[in-house]
Structure 1
């Protein structure tokens, strides 16, 4: 997707897209550096957008792993489906439905969650529900990795995981924070 097309989609629905620019390579690398791809069998991506982070994940995943991505924007879902990787499962649905999709996959645990959902723009209860489900279905030692453009939502993750490590990524427009939580 061209930058201008992404800008248009972002402006049309900033509440669900969460930004008007794509994630930089620097941000994508920072998001996935918290994943042990040698051990990851199931990775979940929330708010996959047009797949910029998705592609970085797929590049590192082992051949028998699965990547379940959630995206509500139909144009973005079409782009995600066009990636054509059999390990990629595109859920054109809200991340609230995580349990339903895990059931379809006969999966009980998630190894890692990579999220670009704009929780600041979503109702607080919805954010708590989504992050709570991720925690519930995550394996012990699994990590939840979230990008934000401020630290306003840090307490949401602390309240569920009890821990949040913060990485600042200056080489992104706008500069971003990567919050990393581990299920202990």
Structure 2
């Protein structure tokens, strides 16, 4: 029997393919890999971009301390309703990643300790990718990190452009080996240390946990 997360995502992927980009959910092995960007036992702020039906929620939750804040952003209203119904402990927010700055402001979040993303970055227009990456780099704590997934369905030139964008924003970008058992095969990018030009001035972007 299909699990609720898979059922609702499959249904929404065929009606909102322009938003969700794929009918496949990230596999458990890759979910654990993406979640490792969250320090074990952290009491900081974690923001997930493109939460979908919540396949990353439990792997991330397993790494959180008792005072951590975990905000999950999802554009699709039915998937947000699913998250709130099946994972009531999760702080699920409906919103477009294009409005990330405003979403974080509305949530009272300045600094973020970890971003985790399963968004279809390779299909985003370059202007949108740059806009969102600027916000991520500005909001990320100096010792914070971001992880994202890239599938082998992505066009090579789009992946090259994305990698160049990451190198423009972060001091370290690590690409993992391909997880061939994931449907479709995919790898992750792990980004650390936003470059100095993106760091907020002293007194700006202080971390909020609610």
Q: Same fold (TM over 0.5)?
A: yes
Closer, same or farther: CA 103–179 of 1 in aligned 2, 3 Å: same
Aligned to 2:69: 66
1:81-160 to 2 correspondences below 5 Å: 81-82=84-85, 83-85=87-89, 88-150=90-152, 152=159, 153-160=162-169
Instruction: Tell me the matched-pair count.
Output: 182
Indicate conservation of the 8 Å contact 1:30/1:169, yes or no.
no
Alignment of 1:164 onto 2:168? no
TM-score by length of 2: 0.79
The structure with the largest alpha-carbon Rg is 2
Indicate conservation of the 8 Å contact 2:145/2:191, yes or no.
yes
Q: 4+ runs of 1 displaced by more than 4 Å?
A: none
CA distance in 1, matches of 2:43, 2:175: 22
CA distance in 1, matches of 2:191, 2:69: 21
Deviation by residue 1:38-67 (Cα, 9 ceiling, x = unmatched): 234100000000000122212321121111
Q: Structure 1: which 5+ residue stretches go unaligned?
A: none
Q: Structure 2: which 5+ residue stretches go unaligned?
A: 195-210
TM-score by length of 1: 0.90
C-alpha root-mean-square deviation of aligned residues, in Å?
1.8
1:26-65 to 2 correspondences below 5 Å: 26-65=29-68
CA distance in 2, matches of 1:7, 1:175: 18
